[in-house]
Structure 1
Amino acid sequence: MLAPVESRSVSPVFVGRAAELETLHDALAHASGGEPQALVIGGEAGVGKTRLVEEFAGAAAREGAVVVLGGCVEIGADGLPFAPFSTALRALRRDLPEELAAAAAGQEEELARLLPELGEAPPSRGADRSDEEGMARLFELTARLLERVAADRTVVVALEDLHWADASTRHLLSYLFRTLRTGRLVVLATYRSDDIHRRHPLRPLLAELDRLRTVRRIELGRFNRAEVGRQIAGILATEPDPAQVDEIFERSDGNAFFVEELAVATHEDSCSGLTDSLRDLLLVRVERLPESAQRVARIVAEGGSTVEYRLLAAVARLAEDDLIEALRAAVNANILIAAPGGDGYRFRHSLVREAVGDDLLPGERSRLNRRYAEALEADPTLVPADERVMRLASYWYHAHDPAKALPAVLDASVTARRRHAHSEQLRLLERAMELWDSAPEDVRATLRPVDYTEVYPPCGCDPATTPLRYLDLMAEAAVAGRLCGERERALKITKRALHLLEEEGDPLRAAWFWVQRSRLVQAQARGDGWKELATAQQLVRGLPPSEVHAEVLAAAANWSMLHDPGPDAMTAAERAVEYARMVGAEDIEFNARLTLGGLMVDAGQIEAGLAEMYEVRDEAVARGLTAVVGRSHVNLPSALEGIGRSEEAVALLREGLRLTQNMGLRDSEAWIWANLAESLFSLGRWEEAAEAAVNAQRTGQSAKPRGGGSNWLAHLALARGEVAEAAHHLAAARASYGTHDPMPQNNLPMAYVTIGTAAAEGRVLDARAEADRALSAGFPPGTQRYAWPLLLAAALAESDARAPAPPAAQEGRAAFLKRLFEAVRKLTTGAPLWLAYDKWTRAELDRAESRATPDTWSDVVTAFEALERPHDLAQVRHRLAEALLAIGGDDERARATELLRLARATATHLGARPLADATAHLAQRARLSLTAAPPPTDPADSLGLTTRERDVLRLVSAGRTNRQIAEELFISPKTASVHVSNILGKLGVSGRGEAAAMAHRLGLFSAETVTSGTRS
């Protein structure tokens, strides 16, 4: 009804900003080509950010783009969770209903946390246990939704007033800027730079965005004098007096909004009445309004960024005609404007709203908030459903009424939790704890845990009838802090809670808080968390089965599986499964069964353990247990890979990628990529393995899965002979894993790479020292899958370093080899892969002491021929060929030739340069041709020399002794002596010197050939 209003202070001419607008149009062009764009526009209040966005949005729409806007909402000091994204998605749904429905298909329930119109968001399952990835899942699904909607059309999403954004909105925006990969999409956000003080929560996000090369930052400066003149001319529709331009430019300092206000004030001949304060300038225009309009302006200022007409009418308590007249006066004076959609009113500029709000008296402010709250309680339909609870909580809190505020704030915390807005949930819970003592006892007595918490009292009481306790709020807040990354705050909450529990004698509740502290300590890199878990175990020991008891046992079993696997871990896992079934804790049961299955595989109960894990995986997928689906597709393929069933693991991992990507389980996806890199490496699909490892680095939200990607890139680089690259990736893996929480599954593979790089660089003592450290730490039951490659690497380093050494060094080497052999002898061989590693490692130890025979290596080759490890098989074939050539018979040489051909073909295909070089060098020393073409005719044939006699004569010419000739040609010294005697007879000479001279005189060997023989 108030649509036809005058807006004289807004210039119809868009002034300046040519460079900034060009940047925006360039981003639009790139987005139209399928390259998503991210931009952040900053500038002080009133400098023209909104006008720039409006100008760009209009141009983009004219080019066919779909433009949606969302603004961060300020209610008092409280932002609504995800408000700008909800608004933008709602606009997308209005403009592209079919496209958005198709993009959201299958994930409507999760996306309903942001856009309730899609359906009803499901309650999260046990936020304290299984919802670790809830927020990340929502973020991932939102990113993919936007990518799908923007697949065939250009979409611009503009989010304003980021300085008011809640923490969840900031986190989601950061996630989008880091992960958007496809789609014709432009995402831009604006913020008020003069509000970003040193401790403002937006500052860390801006610092992060500065490090992202994909994000463009635009900083709007003030207008210069010429631009101010053009702006005034546009506002007044006439060329202004130069003196007037000078005065306005000086007073406004080029701020576009203040130029508008001063230009209008001057035009209305009121400049002489203006004060020196620009803030007062804003209030002067309000104070000229009729009293009823001023009153309405004050009500709107306290109601939030936008106030709905019906809510405003209920709070103003004016007759409808009087309210309309008051609104008309405020709108005609350009103080208020109709909100987008026409259902409410807002200040034309937030600076005016802030000035009016700051001018309210303290009592007036609380009274207005009470009236807003009472109106909303009387008629909840006055505001949109998704805003109702949060706004009511804010109104009652700022009305300073604890009796009303406490339940309202708790209701709001539940809404925040359901939206995965855990930062806002934590803030609201802390506000509830602040209100707790002030609220009347009879009010607190009506509150029930079932209504406000997911972390029910672990005492076995009925949460529907037991009164809510302060400790319940602390438990819920500790979980919210952990899930939103505010772990330091969560640690402080758990510390306070445990202090309160010291006098209460509630061991179950205390044990629950100790489990939370264990997780927080690990996440904060303050330790491995075992001390806290041990305390929790002590507290529940001897108590009847309960959900907390089952959770403590499950957490302890999982910790032991990763850190110290063995019989105790299996016992804890079995009891956790039993207790969880007794109390009906499904998520604890499934996770404990996964742990139990993995421990069974490690203990040698391979088929039974795998069957248990497969059953859990199938049930989790069928029931849609998101967190268990993610973990099962990490742990089960890892167990399969550990026993050498790599092809089976790859198939499961590929399925796991599909499921976790659809579910938005980004950290689970990263673990799956890392495990896929390992299995593909084993199968000899090294290019795919490298791609998977890089994806693990890019996908992981937390450090450890990124460390897994770096770890397998290090393995690849080492196998390819890129030693410096391997060291680089190893350092990255160490940084990701950290030192506070050592695990065999991380440390032993890193030690393997450390030994391998040291050996490749000839630093045998360094390789031995690293292996010695691992031997000293020992290999607990269940670590054999990581221990066998490490022991093999240590044996390889010693086997390849057989050069003579001083007696003292030989003694040290002998002692180390003995320790190595003892470790090999004690390590389990319950899987074919482990047995194959056992045979190989023993063979390398025999080779290190010159005891290996062809039979030794034939046994190793046979073991690996039954496995899916082409690189390992090629290496042991090379070793068998070497042993056969040491015998030197024709049959042995023929067999060695075929083995080397196979090994070289594998090494060439994989790009395993060290193996390829070793194969070529061995063939060259043995004078073997690894190609199908016949060897060229040798001039020595005219003298009746055989091929072997020719090789011996070449070495005689190089001055070698019979023993040296034997070692070089893999024959015995006696055979070498016979060959030398035959050569002397055929050449008709009496000694080795004459034979060498004749060979030189006849030109049988080039100088280079003889010299190369000297270096062999």
Structure 2
Amino acid sequence: MATLDRMGCHRCGRVRLHADAPCPACGAAPIAKAAVAGASEPFVGRRGELQLAHDALGGALAGRGRVVMLSGEAGIGKTRLAQEVATLALRRGMLTLWGRCLEEPGAPPFLPWTRAMQACLRACRDERLPALLGREAAAAVEIAPELAERLPPGTAVPAIGEGDQARFRLFAAVAHFWRQAAALRPLLLVLDNLHWADASSLRLLAFIAQDVGESRILLLGSYREAGLSRQHPLAATLAELLNTRQFCRLPLQGLSLDETERMVAAASAVTPPPAVIATMHRRTEGNPLYLVETLRFLHQGPCGDDPHAAAARVETVPSGIRAVIGQRLNQLSAPCCELLAIAACIGRDFDLPLLAELAGAGSEAALLGRLDEALAQRVIELVPPGPQYQFSHVLIREVLYDELPASRRVALHGRIAESLEARHAGGLDAVLAQLAYHAAAALPAGNAARALDIAQQAAARAVALMAYEEALRCYRLALQLQERWLPAERARHGALLLALGAVQTHAGENDAGAVTFLEAATLARTLGDADLFAQAALGFENNGWRISRPGEQAAALLEEALAGEDGFDAALRVDLLAALCRACIFCGRQPQANAAQRRAVALARELAMPQPLFKALAAILPARADPAQLDERLRCAREALEVAERAGHMEWVDALTGWHFGDLVEKGELDAARPLAQVHARVADAIRQPFMQAMGLASLTLLAAYEGRFADAERLAGETFTIGLRFLPGNAQGAYSLQIFVLRRHQGRLGEVLPVLRGLVGSVPRDSLWQPGLALICAELDLHEPAREAYEALAGDGFAGIARDGMWLTNIVFTAEVCARLGDRPRAALLYRLLAPYAGRNVVTGTNIACFGAVDRYRGMLAALAGDDANAAAHLEAAVALDERCGGRPWLAHSRFEWARWLAACGEAAAASTQLDAALALGRELGMAGLARRCEALQRELEGAGAATPSAPEGLSRRELAVLRLLCAGCSNQAIAERLFISPHTVAHHVRHILSKTDCRSRTEAAAWAHRHRVAAEGREQL
């Protein structure tokens, strides 16, 4: 390193007074200057990349953070370019921190982040930092214990818990740490060699990148493209980053010929002739590391001033960087190479005490002399403050490690494991992952049982840190060790499978987790281990219910487990029964679910323990598809909330308050639902659970849209979507789309989706869950043919194709609206009966995604279409009463309009005008343009209903004249209904009035009458 002497002695670290003088403390001679500068010395080219980096730094300084990724092959100059960007950042007053990733599998989880956080805490001495960090950053102590000293006095470090929600809290805390650090001083954070990062670190990177755009942070990463398969965890992270607006990828190519000339001139005391440089460029393809290594190779031979000899020697350079590095290593002495091979087994980074211990016999002077030889040849570098070293490039370490004989590797890994365990006997946590790697690599010569113990400890430690991907690696390693070296320990195999399945569930690998739990259940049957089987059944059910997996298989496993329940303690039986209740709900077996829950509650009451009782009561709450369960769900939820509150464990509630909120809205108890939504939001914010936070924001979005606060609803929907993307992106997109549909429909802005809709028409499968919504949007936009096509796709077999899931009621009311608009009288009665169990309630979609107002409005529209005037009146009046009592102002406007429309069709103009005026006033106040236009059109009809004009003999109303003209054109009642956007029943009502007023006995006589009075002729242009 060019700055080595200025930093201090490579042995003791003391600063030298003169670069060429021996060290005053230990007498070490200065390192001789190499004939060729190291690859880290010259920097040429990359103008475009530097300009982009310069712009990104400026954006970060202005509070517009970016994520920039440098990619390319090994040796292409990613790290060197990052160093140059770091220099630019320092000149602009930014704090520059590095988080380097290690290639060894034993690297601790979150290593690049912990290294960067430690460096940040050392660098940030600002007295404002503790106050800025506060409670929000406290959970980050889990991966950076040094943080505890910088938190404000008295700050409680929260118990992090387990599961996805706990990891969200950890990630949120780390993200808060970086935002607050950047608030003090703009920050360049470099994450080098991300292709070696543990998967948990990559998940944290994706999380932090979501919010970096509003901070003073430039996050600069680098990774090697070669070998980056679709299965590599970095591939998934990069795909996620592509969806963030502030992400940019910079692929680095080889240097041009001109840049190669400048690179060689900067790295060599004597510049080779142009022909030699051209040959070097062709051979190396402009790879900077390969260029420097080729130059080293060239200087090792006797070429003199003969350009032809130099060019010929370049042609003899081994192909590939690794081969060239091998040639350079051959120039070192055998003792030096032996020492470096030992260091390569430790890893890219190695410290002097461990290396000395492994090297064995020999004086310290001899050891340091060999290191001096490697330092002089730039094979290794000193890492301040020492005595820590690293290989100057990872490829050097790889070449040395790959050349080691297998038996030598095994022996060295065993000795490294023994040394690590002895040196950290007081606490292995910090080195468990590293120790597990070396202990496993030491087999078969090492201790298999000890290697297995360490792998399990490393996995448990990773779980405690929420580094689930690292935990998966360690548990899989433990299973491999157990199966390979300790196959007789079958019970241990079962325990490892349970642990692996639980971590797979936490990591979102639900399908893999389900397979693991089934494997554990199969093993339990073989061993006759009832407890293992019960835990496997519980794990399988818990793995599936949150993602709404059908519950048949889970129910079968739980029922099999409960068959041997006499040997279980009562708490385990409660868990099994509560899980069985949920499983039966998710496979449509509601009676069995009810029975299981009753047993669970009774058993939990006997136990007199709060948590089992809470679990038993809460198990029934997902039964949203059964209308008969609503009152029972409300009762169980209220008691469960009381149990959790009395026990002081509101974190138990998880999704309970969200489900309870939805039930309260459905019941029409909005006065209770509103404060519950606030309680849910406070608890979710306190315990930082993303599922709860998204559910709480969805509830607040629903309330805002339901009450007519459309701007608030749109803002909250966006916040819900942002959080949902972090843990369940597929569901988040669907929920957001439905929320925006509700708002745009209220605002009369569905035309904005018309271009997208035209692309969907004809492409949506006939059995798609989007068909009801598609049919309704088409009907709203007067696209009658696509609406009818989508509607007919739903209507077959008595609407049995609409799945009986959490979206069933929403899809049925969508279909009911389309049915009324299309005038499908025969099917109206069927839809009316399907909605009967929900009379007097609101329509709530999914997990509090949206509310579509009173069910009675839809039943009233269907009854009116079917000619059931008595029920139409009762339902529409009930809908208005419910919407008004609950404060659902947009739906109140719709209900009043539908009531007015029915009253107008019945000839009750005065009553219709009263409802219509109220609907129009409310629609205008809320900005419901589409509804206002419909109200105004109906108002014009009512105003002209009784006025006799020359063109309207016998006192026919405008609507009756329109019906008569279409009748003259030969249209059926169905065709007239479609043309005038009214029901066939209303058409028939108008025809009766026409016949009465014109004293005609048939439609034919009415047509003749119209021709005599020139009514038909006047309407031809319009028709």
**CA deviation after TM superposition for structure 1 residue 496, in Å:** 3.2
Report the equivalent of 1:899.
915
Percent of counterpart pairs with the same letter? 23
- Is 1:615 aligned with 2:638? no
For the 8 Å contact 2:941–2:958, the answer to whether it is kept is no
AA of the residue aligned to 1:901: D
Task: State the alpha-carbon separation in 1 of the partners of residues 683 and 238 from structure 2.
Answer: 33
Show CA shifts across 1:620-661 (max 9, x none): 8x5463xx3542342232222222344654554455445545
- Is 1:159 aligned with 2:191? yes
Report the equivalent of 1:641.
665
Show CA shifts across 1:329-366 (max 9, x none): 32222221112543411111112111222222222212
- Is 1:819 aligned with 2:830? yes
Task: Compare 765-774 and 407-416 and name the one that shifted more.
Answer: 765-774
3-state secondary structure, aligned to 1:29:
helix
Of 726, 729, 741, the residue aligned with 1:714 is 741
- Is 1:113 aligned with 2:145? no
Report the equivalent of 2:522.
499
Report the equivalent of 1:276.
318
Give 1:53-452 correspondences, 5 Å limit.
53-75=82-104, 77-96=105-124, 101-102=130-131, 104-107=133-136, 110-119=139-148, 125=161, 131-196=163-228, 200-210=232-242, 214-237=246-269, 239-242=271-274, 245-246=277-278, 248-267=280-299, 269=301, 276=318, 278-317=321-360, 318-380=362-424, 387-400=430-443, 401=446, 402-436=448-482, 439=485
Residues 649 and 285 from structure 1, CA distance in 2 versus in 1: closer, same or farther, beyond 3 angstroms? same
Task: State the alpha-carbon separation in 2 of the partners of residues 584 and 362 from structure 1.
Answer: 61
Task: State the alpha-carbon separation in 2 of the partners of residues 242 and 667 from structure 1.
Answer: 64
Of 862, 865, 869, the residue aligned with 1:848 is 865
Which TM-score applies when normalising by structure 2? 0.78
Residues 643 and 855 from structure 1, CA distance in 2 versus in 1: closer, same or farther, beyond 3 angstroms? closer
**CA deviation after TM superposition for structure 1 residue 598, in Å:** 6.8
For the 8 Å contact 2:708–2:889, the answer to whether it is kept is yes
Residues 366 and 875 from structure 1, CA distance in 2 versus in 1: closer, same or farther, beyond 3 angstroms? same
Show CA shifts across 1:885-917 (max 9, x none): 56768xx63x54443222112223444444223
Report the equivalent of 2:28.
none
Which TM-score applies when normalising by structure 1? 0.79
3-state secondary structure, aligned to 2:142:
coil
Residues 950 and 731 from structure 1, CA distance in 2 versus in 1: closer, same or farther, beyond 3 angstroms? closer
3-state secondary structure, aligned to 1:156:
strand
Task: State the alpha-carbon separation in 1 of the partners of residues 79 and 373 from structure 2.
Answer: 24
Report the equivalent of 2:75.
46
**CA deviation after TM superposition for structure 1 residue 37, in Å:** 0.5
Task: State the alpha-carbon separation in 1 of the partners of residues 766 and 498 from structure 2.
Answer: 29
Of 488, 494, 498, the residue aligned with 1:475 is 498
Report the equivalent of 2:537.
514
Task: State the alpha-carbon separation in 2 of the partners of residues 334 and 153 from structure 1.
Answer: 35
Of 917, 928, 931, the residue aligned with 2:933 is 917
Residues 24 and 684 from structure 1, CA distance in 2 versus in 1: closer, same or farther, beyond 3 angstroms? same
3-state secondary structure, aligned to 2:340:
helix
**CA deviation after TM superposition for structure 1 residue 676, in Å:** 3.2
Aligned length: 923
Of 538, 551, 558, the residue aligned with 2:560 is 538
Residues 996 and 538 from structure 1, CA distance in 2 versus in 1: closer, same or farther, beyond 3 angstroms? same
For the 8 Å contact 2:67–2:248, the answer to whether it is kept is yes
- Is 1:670 aligned with 2:701? no
For the 8 Å contact 1:477–1:493, the answer to whether it is kept is yes
3-state secondary structure, aligned to 1:404:
helix
Residues 653 and 765 from structure 1, CA distance in 2 versus in 1: closer, same or farther, beyond 3 angstroms? same
Show CA shifts across 1:532-556 (max 9, x none): 3233223213614445433332223
Show CA shifts across 1:694-746 (max 9, x none): 44333322123432222333334444555576799999999xx9999x9xxxx
For the 8 Å contact 1:957–1:995, the answer to whether it is kept is no
Task: State the alpha-carbon separation in 2 of the partners of residues 52 and 531 from structure 1.
Answer: 54
Task: State the alpha-carbon separation in 2 of the partners of residues 494 and 777 from structure 1.
Answer: 33
Task: State the alpha-carbon separation in 1 of the partners of residues 842 and 957 from structure 2.
Answer: 53
- Is 1:865 aligned with 2:919? no
Residues 121 and 406 from structure 1, CA distance in 2 versus in 1: closer, same or farther, beyond 3 angstroms? farther
Residues 587 and 138 from structure 1, CA distance in 2 versus in 1: closer, same or farther, beyond 3 angstroms? farther
Task: State the alpha-carbon separation in 2 of the partners of residues 958 and 654 from structure 1.
Answer: 51
Residues 923 and 971 from structure 1, CA distance in 2 versus in 1: closer, same or farther, beyond 3 angstroms? farther
Superposed CA RMSD? 4.7
3-state secondary structure, aligned to 1:187:
strand
For the 8 Å contact 1:634–1:653, the answer to whether it is kept is yes
Residues 523 and 237 from structure 1, CA distance in 2 versus in 1: closer, same or farther, beyond 3 angstroms? farther
For the 8 Å contact 1:650–1:680, the answer to whether it is kept is no
Give 1:30-45 correspondences, 5 Å limit.
30-45=59-74
- Is 1:572 aligned with 2:609? no
**CA deviation after TM superposition for structure 1 residue 494, in Å:** 3.2
Report the equivalent of 2:27.
none
Task: State the alpha-carbon separation in 2 of the partners of residues 166 and 472 from structure 1.
Answer: 25
Task: State the alpha-carbon separation in 2 of the partners of residues 489 and 606 from structure 1.
Answer: 33
Task: Compare 504-513 and 237-246 and name the one that shifted more.
Answer: 237-246
Give 1:456-855 correspondences, 5 Å limit.
469-518=492-541, 528-541=550-563, 543-544=565-566, 545-561=569-585, 564=588, 566-577=590-601, 579=603, 589-596=613-620, 602-605=629-632, 608-615=635-642, 618=645, 622-623=648-649, 625=651, 628-646=652-670, 648-654=672-678, 656-657=680-681, 659-660=683-684, 663-700=687-724, 701-702=727-728, 703-720=730-747, 751=772, 754=775, 757-758=778-779, 761-762=783-784, 763=787, 767=791, 770=794, 776=800, 796-801=817-822, 813-814=825-826, 816-827=827-838, 829=840, 837=854, 839-852=856-869
Residues 181 and 539 from structure 1, CA distance in 2 versus in 1: closer, same or farther, beyond 3 angstroms? same
What are structure 1's unaligned runs of at least 5 residues?
446-466, 803-808, 930-945, 981-991, 998-1006
Residues 253 and 788 from structure 1, CA distance in 2 versus in 1: closer, same or farther, beyond 3 angstroms? closer
For the 8 Å contact 1:926–1:969, the answer to whether it is kept is no
Task: State the alpha-carbon separation in 1 of the partners of residues 552 and 33 from structure 2.
Answer: 67
Task: State the alpha-carbon separation in 2 of the partners of residues 732 and 964 from structure 1.
Answer: 38
**CA deviation after TM superposition for structure 1 residue 89, in Å:** 1.4
AA of the residue aligned to 1:344: Q
Task: State the alpha-carbon separation in 2 of the partners of residues 280 and 961 from structure 1.
Answer: 94
